[in-house]
Amino acid sequence: MSKEPFLEPGSIAALEFEAVLEHVARHAGGALGAEVVRAARPRADREEVEVSLGEAREALERLAAGEEDLLVGSGDPRAALDRLSKGDRALEPTEILSLGDFLESAESARRELGALAARYPRLALRASGIPDVADLRARLRRSVRADGSVPDGASPRLARIRSAISRVEQEIASKLESVLARPAVRRHLQSPVPVRRDGRALLAVRSTALGRVRGLLHERSGSGATAFLEPEELVEPGNRLADLRTRESREVAAVLLDVTRTLVARQRDLAEVRARIGALDAADAKARWGRETGGTIPAIAEGRGLELRRARHPLLLEGARVRGAVPSDVVVPIDLRVGDGFDLLLLTGPNTGGKTVALKTAGILVLLALSGFPVPAAEGARVPRYDAFFVDIGDEQEIAQSLSTFSSHLRRILPALDRSTERSLVLLDELGSGTDPVEGAALARAILDHLLARRASVIATTHLGPLKTFAALHPSAENASVEFDVETLRPTFRVRLGIAGESNAIRIAERLGLPAPLVSRAMESVEAETHPLEGALRQVDERRREAEDARERVHRMEDEAGRLAEDLATREKEIDRARDRLEVTADAVLGESFRRAKRVLAEEVRRALAGTGPIEARLDRLRERVEEALGETPLRERRLEFFRNLRRGDLVLVRSLRRRVPVRKIEIDRARLSVSLGSVRLEIVFDDVVWPEPIAGDAPERRGGER
């Protein structure tokens, strides 16, 4: 039995884990996959987690490869399977049909994934364990048609009964036709069309004619004007038909019961199919959700280091999608890490929601990763195998238990103080709040000291200044801040590691219109009460912030330089390929040209040797013919044709520049072109210009039309 990490009651709700699972479940192809997703919980067994993540990774690869959905038509077999486990009655035809569809989908999944085992080994292994139920599926198909009826061939007895029914129905039809042919009967009918009541053929006879048409009265119309009679000739065959119908119903029930008993005997196989199809469908659901949220597969770390890069909260992504916004435009990614180099990450800054979002993002992504789900973060996410989670998020008073905000916080923190270990993750929101700030800060320091002594990984948020100093001085702690834009009075949600955040309360009050004298008085009071060490730490943070900004600018410049270098390398490769193609073409054309010249030369040499007259005249003739042959080579003709067809604005490839440039002017007689290189105008000889070839980033169409 797999082991689940300890979860303090309320942790799942505080991190809104089930709400995220519901979003994932909506991507399942069937009810079984959705059921598996909703039941997911974090696991402490590394192998179990990695199997689940591996299946999700391969499902993502299948999506990227455009593979078809494996479980189309699997339907919802849960009602039928649950009915079998109870064994209280035979299955209905519709339930048998749903099981048939389910088993057919399972066989298809096993077959298709088996053929792709080299590409998707984990999914293929999961599918390979699906029991062979071909015989069972065939039995279901023989027992119930697609329209829900039981076919004659479901049992020999049923076939005989239905054959007898057919013969009796033909007998009744023949006798009914004979009765309706009698004039003495037709004249007393309200309608010449017989009606059916409980499988019997009845005549609509005027009530005033009762006694004139012999038969058994079954009923009267509401007005009493019409009586419905069964002609006496039809009573006996009608009785036989009714008996046969009863026997048919009993035999159909016997067939369904027999099928149900067969299924009950195979419940173990059916349970295995259910579990494996549910797992495969859940992997597909994770993949579809992961693709929608830009998710990646995290690494499960043996160490204690949690690292999330460009992480986004899945519920924020869903909210953006519902509003029609582009999630990447409105959900700010954050970077968080703890447990590697320091065990406490203290998030500080204004009390505006940004810190809590960061805290919840870390918590929900850890739960998702250890439950085998992709996480909305960049490649390289690393999550340790935590054995316990302790979460205190939210500052609501618990009125039902007569607890204040402070008491409510403390009640949720106490289990972490007692049970946390070096494999635990503790998330604390607004630590030290809800009471006197001085006492709250003192209690918070004591709590953090205790947790750090137990080597638990702690992410905490606060707006208490003394805790920033604590984090700055403790060797196992690190400050971080969530940026706040004082101009817009809104958080940017950007997390900055190593820099303590400021409350900005006075600056916010100033922006909101607090009179200047009051702002100055408040600033003087803060400066007077600020401990010298806090002021020094603030200066250090300012220097670190400046250094971080400079480093980020350098990183952006490096990234841009890298992109430009890649673009340049790509262009150079395209030009080299174009040059190679041109050289091959030119070699071929020149070869043909020289072959023509050689033929002309050989012919003229023979004429010169065989001719008469001065040798000088014959050599001049030979030279003229060779020059004429070379002047009419295909290469030259093609180049002249190319230059004649050029227009102003066309792009040409200049070999010496290794660039494609637009033509400004063509001078055929001078064999020159004027081209533009940026704002510079250059004159290029024809021989430096070659046929243009497509180069990435250039538009192939003409941009002008003048000579």
pLDDT tens-digit series, residues 343-362 = 999 988 766 658 888 999 99
Name which of 154-163, 367-376, 473-482, 493-502 the model is least confident about: 493-502
Which pairing describes strands 424-428 and 457-462: parallel, antiparallel, or unpaired?
parallel
Sorted by sequence, the CB contacts under 8 Å of residue 8 that are 6+ apart come out as 388, 389, 390, 391, 412, 415, 416
Based on the fold, state whether residues 118 and 186 are members of the same structural domain: no
Based on the fold, state whether residues 98 and 214 are members of the same structural domain: no
Mean pLDDT of 169-185: 88
Evaluate if residue 229 carries a pLDDT over 50.
yes
589 vs 371, more confident: 371
Mean pLDDT of 203-217: 84
Q: Give the per-residue pLDDT at 511.
A: 62
Based on the fold, state whether residues 442 and 507 are members of the same structural domain: yes
Residue with tokens 């009493």: 224
Q: Give the per-residue pLDDT at 399.
A: 37
In residues, how long is the chain? 707
Count of structural domains within the chain: 5
CB 486 within 8 A of CB 501: no
Partnered with residue 344 across adjacent β-strands are 458, 477
CATH of the domain at 489: 3.40.50.300
Based on the fold, state whether residues 389 and 411 are members of the same structural domain: yes
- Residue-by-residue DSSP string for 77-88: -HHHHHHHHHTS
Query: pLDDT tens for residues 485-497?
Result: 555 556 666 777 7
Q: Which domain-ending residue is among 645, 661, 691?
A: 645
Work out the pLDDT band at 697, boundaries 50, 70, 90.
very low
Based on the fold, state whether residues 480 and 433 are members of the same structural domain: yes
Spell 255-282 as b/e; 16+ CB within 10 A means b. bbeebbeebeebeebbebbbebbbbbbb
Q: Which domain-ending residue is among 231, 258, 291?
A: 291
The strand order across the sheet containing 334-338 reads 299-301, 382-384, 306-311, 334-338
- Mean confidence (pLDDT) of the chain: 81
Evaluate if residue 85 carries a pLDDT over 70.
yes
- Residue-by-residue DSSP string for 531-569: -HHHHHHHHHHHHHHHHHHHHHHHHHHHHHHHHHHHHHH
151: which DSSP letter?
P
- What percentage of the chain carries pLDDT values higher than 70? 75
Work out the pLDDT band at 703, boundaries 50, 70, 90.
very low
Name which of 16-25, 164-173, 324-333, 341-350 the model is least confident about: 324-333
Q: Give the per-residue pLDDT at 409.
A: 80
Q: Give the per-residue pLDDT at 328.
A: 67
Evaluate if residue 500 carries a pLDDT over 70.
no
List the domain range (segments joined by +) for residue 103.
25-133+266-291
Question: In this structure, is residue 316 part of a structural domain?
Answer: no
471 vs 73, more confident: 471
Based on the fold, state whether residues 100 and 118 are members of the same structural domain: yes
Mean pLDDT of 167-184: 89
Work out the pLDDT band at 534, boundaries 50, 70, 90.
low
611 vs 520, more confident: 520
Side chain identity at 303, as an amino acid letter? G
Work out the pLDDT band at 694, boundaries 50, 70, 90.
very low
Distance (Å, whole) CA 163 – CA 193:
26
Q: Give the per-residue pLDDT at 699.
A: 40
Question: In this structure, is residue 379 part of a structural domain?
Answer: no
Question: In this structure, is residue 314 part of a structural domain?
Answer: no
Question: In this structure, is residue 309 part of a structural domain?
Answer: no
Work out the pLDDT band at 379, boundaries 50, 70, 90.
very high
Please state, as a whole number, how many other Cβ atoms lie within 10 Å of the Cβ of residue 343.
Answer: 25
Q: Is the pTM of this model over 0.75?
A: no
Evaluate if residue 3 carries a pLDDT over 70.
no
**Largest Cα–Cα distance in the chain?**
142
Based on the fold, state whether residues 515 and 466 are members of the same structural domain: yes
Beta-strand ranges (E) seen in 398-469 are 424-428, 457-462
Evaluate if residue 702 carries a pLDDT over 50.
no
CA nearest to 364, candidates 38, 42, 59, 33? 42
Question: In this structure, is residue 318 part of a structural domain?
Answer: no
84 vs 55, more confident: 55
C-beta pairs of 189-195 under 8 Å, 24+ apart in sequence: 190/225, 190/226, 195/228
Name which of 32-41, 227-236, 668-677 the model is least confident about: 668-677
Question: In this structure, is residue 377 part of a structural domain?
Answer: no
Query: pLDDT tens for residues 423-455?
Result: 999 999 988 887 778 888 899 899 999 999 999
CA 114 to the chain's CA centroid: 24
Q: Give the per-residue pLDDT at 646.
A: 81
Based on the fold, state whether residues 362 and 489 are members of the same structural domain: yes
CATH of the domain at 232: 1.10.1420.10
Question: In this structure, is residue 361 part of a structural domain?
Answer: yes
Distance (Å, whole) CA 456 – CA 450:
9
269 vs 576, more confident: 269
Q: Give the per-residue pLDDT at 294.
A: 92
Name which of 60-74, 79-93, 189-203, 532-546 the model is least confident about: 532-546
Distance (Å, whole) CA 362 – CA 380:
15
Q: Which domain-ending residue is among 530, 549, 584?
A: 530
Q: Give the per-residue pLDDT at 592.
A: 62
Work out the pLDDT band at 695, boundaries 50, 70, 90.
very low
CB 410 within 8 A of CB 440: no
Q: Give the per-residue pLDDT at 402.
A: 40
- What percentage of the chain carries pLDDT values higher than 90? 36
Q: Give the per-residue pLDDT at 487.
A: 59
CATH of the domain at 706: 2.30.30
Distance (Å, whole) CA 305 – CA 308:
10
Question: In this structure, is residue 360 part of a structural domain?
Answer: yes
Based on the fold, state whether residues 521 and 397 are members of the same structural domain: yes
Based on the fold, state whether residues 359 and 504 are members of the same structural domain: yes
Q: Give the per-residue pLDDT at 54.
A: 96
Mean pLDDT of 533-556: 58
Based on the fold, state whether residues 120 and 164 are members of the same structural domain: no
Based on the fold, state whether residues 59 and 170 are members of the same structural domain: no
